[in-house]
């Protein structure tokens, strides 16, 4: 009987050495170790083995089984490596003699307006700050005088993470961190991507850019706010543009304003881009609420300041005549190609 085991082992070794691919190995595995495999069936012969040899026979068949399984695993690894190497060597090669494409990329229109606005504010002594996209309830709401269950939260639903953090709904979420970083006096702008859980239309996206600005110093007043807003708009549009300022409510400013511009797509007549009103809400602003200054570690008795939240994506629409805000996130290269020479 032991010769039978040895012969089977020799036969297996010979066959496995000849395998050149994974399929062949699998065939061998089934042929020797499968339900009706040659090694498996040897065990069935145990009943015909004389009693005194049964123990040794069983042990030897099990040893052969283990030997075959190990050898198969080893061979699988060798073949896998060889197959990977073959794939790499046969990978598509490039014909370097072909003429190259002369197409070049271009800046996204939002990047273009962002840079313009940054330049304008930098020339007036503002620093440009960066802030995260994922933040927490405190920074996005509570530090901005919007306690839990405040009705103002309904205006800005967002996407929550399992760990309780959230995607920021507005760049105002950075106000507290920047106040704590620099203290007063300070002048800073901070552009960033914002997210809102709301349905989209020609002037609303669920992912869009804003640029926040803050100026805090002694004796800062609404006149300073209006001056900076006018300056920014006249430099961006380089033409007279109708602007209107109306009262607006935001818990983090007092008083607060909505700053709208006349829609540049329809010239103020009314179209889908401005929801047929002729005006587009562009840059709400106001005097920073004393509670917000306090939360940022700044004494409201000593300092005052203004803040604004410019809709950068909407500004790009108005600046470049993009009728539907969704085109700006579409990744449609044909639409974006138009800005190559800006
Ligand atoms: C705010 O986000 C306030 N944080 C702005 C602010 C800052 C007020 C500082 C006072 C002081 P509001 O939700 O209105 O406010 O958004 C500000 C601007 O972002 C809007 O005027 C608009 O231009 C732009 N915006 C808001 N939601 C969207 C949206 N879904 N799609 C595109 N742009 C949007």
- Residue-by-residue pLDDT tens, the chain, 342 positions: 578 889 999 999 999 988 888 889 999 999 999 988 999 888 888 888 888 888 888 899 999 999 999 999 999 998 888 888 887 777 666 677 777 777 777 889 999 999 999 999 999 999 999 999 999 999 999 999 999 988 888 889 999 999 999 999 999 999 999 999 999 999 999 999 999 999 999 999 999 999 999 999 999 999 999 999 988 988 988 877 888 999 999 999 999 999 999 998 998 999 998 999 999 999 999 999 999 999 999 999 999 999 999 999 999 998 888 999 999 988 777 777 777 666
Both 228 and 306 in a single domain? yes
Beta pairing, strands 304-311 & 285-288? antiparallel
The answer to whether residue 210 is domain-embedded is yes
Query: Does the CB atom of residue 281 touch ligand 1 within 6 A?
Result: yes
Q: Is residue 159 within 8 Å of residue 197, measured between CB atoms?
A: yes
| Domain termination site, one of 57, 89, 121 | 89
The domain in which residue 210 lies consists of 109-339
Both 210 and 254 in a single domain? yes
Both 119 and 71 in a single domain? no
Both 313 and 176 in a single domain? yes
Both 140 and 182 in a single domain? yes
- Split into its structural domains, the chain has a count of 2
The answer to whether residue 260 is domain-embedded is yes
Both 175 and 308 in a single domain? yes
CATH code of the domain in which 308 resides: 3.30.930.10
Both 83 and 116 in a single domain? no
**pLDDT for res 93:** 67
- If you take atom 14 of ligand 1, which residue's CA is the nearest one? 284
Whole-angstrom distance, CA of residue 34 vs CA of residue 27? 9
**Distance from Cα 209 to the centre of ligand 1, integer Å:** 9
The answer to whether residue 317 is domain-embedded is yes
Both 74 and 135 in a single domain? no
Both 232 and 264 in a single domain? yes
Both 247 and 116 in a single domain? yes
Query: Does the CB atom of residue 286 touch ligand 1 within 6 A?
Result: yes
Both 45 and 130 in a single domain? no
The answer to whether residue 180 is domain-embedded is yes
Tokens of 296: 């940022």
**pLDDT for res 146:** 96
- If you take atom 24 of ligand 1, which residue's CA is the nearest one? 311
**Distance from Cα 153 to the centre of ligand 1, integer Å:** 13
Our mutation pick for probing the ligand 1 site, out of 174, 189, 309, 317, counting the most ligand atoms within 8 A of Cβ, is 309
Both 120 and 23 in a single domain? no
**Distance from Cα 250 to the centre of ligand 1, integer Å:** 10
**Distance from Cα 284 to the centre of ligand 1, integer Å:** 7
**pLDDT for res 169:** 97
Tokens of 295: 């939360």
């Amino acid at each position: 009987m032991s010769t039978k085991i040895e012969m089977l082992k020799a036969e297996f070794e010979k066959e496995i050495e000849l395998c050149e691919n994974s399929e062949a190995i699998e065939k061998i595995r089934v042929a020797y170790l499968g339900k009706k495999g040659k090694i498996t069936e040897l065990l069935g012969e145990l009943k015909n083995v004389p009693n005194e040899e049964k123990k040794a026979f069983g042990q030897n068949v099990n040893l052969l089984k283990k030997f075959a399984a190990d050898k198969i695993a080893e061979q699988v690894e060798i073949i896998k490596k060889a197959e990977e190497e073959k794939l790499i060597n046969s990978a598509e090669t490039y014909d370097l003699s072909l003429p190259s494409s002369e197409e070049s990329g271009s800046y996204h229109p939002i990047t273009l307006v962002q840079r313009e606005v940054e330049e304008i504010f930098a020339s007036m002594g503002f620093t440009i700050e960066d802030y995260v996209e994922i933040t927490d309830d405190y920074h996005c709401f509570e530090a901005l005088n919007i306690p839990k269950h405040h009705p103002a939260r309904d205006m800005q639903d967002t996407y929550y993470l399992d760990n309780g953090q959230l995607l920021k709904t507005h760049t105002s979420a950075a106000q507290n961190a920047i106040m704590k970083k620099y203290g007063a006096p300070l002048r800073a702008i901070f552009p960033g991507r914002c997210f809102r859980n709301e349905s989209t239309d020609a002037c609303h996206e669920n992912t869009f850019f804003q640029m926040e600005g803050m100026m805090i110093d002694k004796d800062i007043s609404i006149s300073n706010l209006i001056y900076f807003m006018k300056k920014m708009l006249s430099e961006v549009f380089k033409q007279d543009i109708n602007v209107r300022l109306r009262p607006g409510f935001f818990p983090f400013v007092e008083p607060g304003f909505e700053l709208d511009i006349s829609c540049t797509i329809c010239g103020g007549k009314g179209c889908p881009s401005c929801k047929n009103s002729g005006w587009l809400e562009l840059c709400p602003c106001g005097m920073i609420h004393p509670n917000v200054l306090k939360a940022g570690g700044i004494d409201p008795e000593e300092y005052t300041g203004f803040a604004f939240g410019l809709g950068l994506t909407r500004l790009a629409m108005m600046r470049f005549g993009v009728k539907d805000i969704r085109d700006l996130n579409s990744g449609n290269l044909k639409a974006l190609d138009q800005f190559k020479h800006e």
